[in-house]
Structure 1
């Protein structure tokens, strides 16, 4: 037995409510269970309980044992003076508040069904291979799953909004600058995300605007700020960029990076930082006021057209500055644009529309539903459990489910866990 199960049972009234009797043999009638408090203080606020002939309004505290009241020193804490009922699984001692007034106690174990306890044991007690409900999740009704997915997806958007709001506050709500920093982070992928993000944060976006008229100038700026032009190389293009960056660093009084932190290890050549930086430079060379364009687009094909960019000519025959390769036009793929949409554009659009008071959640879901499902081990494992995804809305929801509910075993806060327990 865990205390969070008692919270769950009390919150949803999953106990026999008829003929409730306190440990002092007073009749108890629960009119309002109260509001669940997730912070410090009593567990439920603003409950209404009739004890004997007296109607009480106040707070409810829940423990496994009555004696936990003293273990937690609640008798010395004024925040617990307004507790009108102590709900416990096992009553082992009378309890009092700091004025030495006895607090009525309800021992709950006699009022909870064995079926609920068995369901709880089934969900939690046995060691599972991956998630607690792996043998039952495929039986959940599709209506329940779809509604839960919607909440999960917007929880995920809210989590991504934290960084966006921090950047907006730091930039005095320069939406274009924030977009550039987030795109830079995403162009770096997992391996170079932090290096690219740090580079973008070091740059005043006004400099990017000024240099975006020339892709070569913009490449020199970005490569230079990443510390990728510090070495001595024989490449003519490298030295052109280096010369330009030396001029830029003096002109804009840039803080230069002593040593590049970008990585090539375990990256496919098309994902090399050199290629991604050139593509990012091309995107901004071709598009002034990129954020303004993006917030007006609602159709997936229009996003693909806007992001139909490649590298500068040098990178068509190179993956690094030194070694020449077979000529290939290296355009952004649709799958890469999908990642940008999922991780940057849709979250930023979500924050912007809410900021201007025009958020339409149906529109946001409609956009993410147009994107193909992501491929990773978590999504594959859910598919093995017969929970298959047909679009990115579902894969994003499943990632949120696994990371924020399954992994920390918050089954009692999960709609799936609720169904399984109540059944």
Structure 2
């Protein structure tokens, strides 16, 4: 299976250069995905039909699943090459799903750590968009930042299968998922970092249920789920028993970087809207673009974008090279989340009351930026983790190791 950390000549690359490919994706997202966001956001049958139509168009134009392996039906772009496109795709929350790149995290995880049965049963349907997955780690009383306290348990039966019981929440897309990867304790005691495993659970299994949706600042898509002695086949364990934290760390490193790239795309969208508003709107004192305070918003937003992008791509380069990127990912995640919140907030300020209503995507972009500072690891976690790693280098090596 193609590894996302390695660049390979792909069907997509052979058909178009990187700049042309990025322009085609930009046109697709702006002219086809963004105009249908209201329908896609609303969910239900109309949203499913719209998404299916967009996916068909993406396939027809050779833009389908670009970062996924060729042998599974994808475009075969390595992560380094795809990173330049991910920002463009991510200008809309629906871009990755419409263009087929959304399952990259799960396809990578299952390809590396799933057994033969799992790979043969699920990888091609995932790449084809015929199945959907989600990832369940955080629990109501156990933050994702402290996985050693995981309360969900999996007991092994005489036939080798697992019986999983527990409750998870803030599980993205759980209501429509066919599979959920669940972190559960298979050994050890509460508080031990050992004994945690990842199990791939079919959501059609008896004992699995979606408890409720958890709106995030008014937006849906997150869910609380319950597993009541759900039987999971023995071959649906990812890796070996006790491998959960190592696999999760690998997944989070890639996932956080992907989200940073998409946040850059969304921030650029907010920036464009702000500049268009300033350039075309006039008041009693003349064009907004001539006002120094408006110019200050534009400058600060551009500075935030331009200084964040290199941090994100530094993390991309290390991941693509298969190197440890924990420090760089931590820096990028905090910077990108703050940047998106800042740029969206400035764009709303320039729009005035119009920026608060339903006629622009700005409220949603601001919500995404604010939630990003908590979800997928709060700022405080990344700040302390990066600082401790840097300071350990001074203590042990006598000098800077990352600056």
Q: Shorter-chain TM-score: which interval? A: under 0.3
Q: What is the TM-score when the length of structure 1 is the normalising length?
A: 0.23
Larger radius of gyration: 1
> Greater strand share, 1 or 2?
2
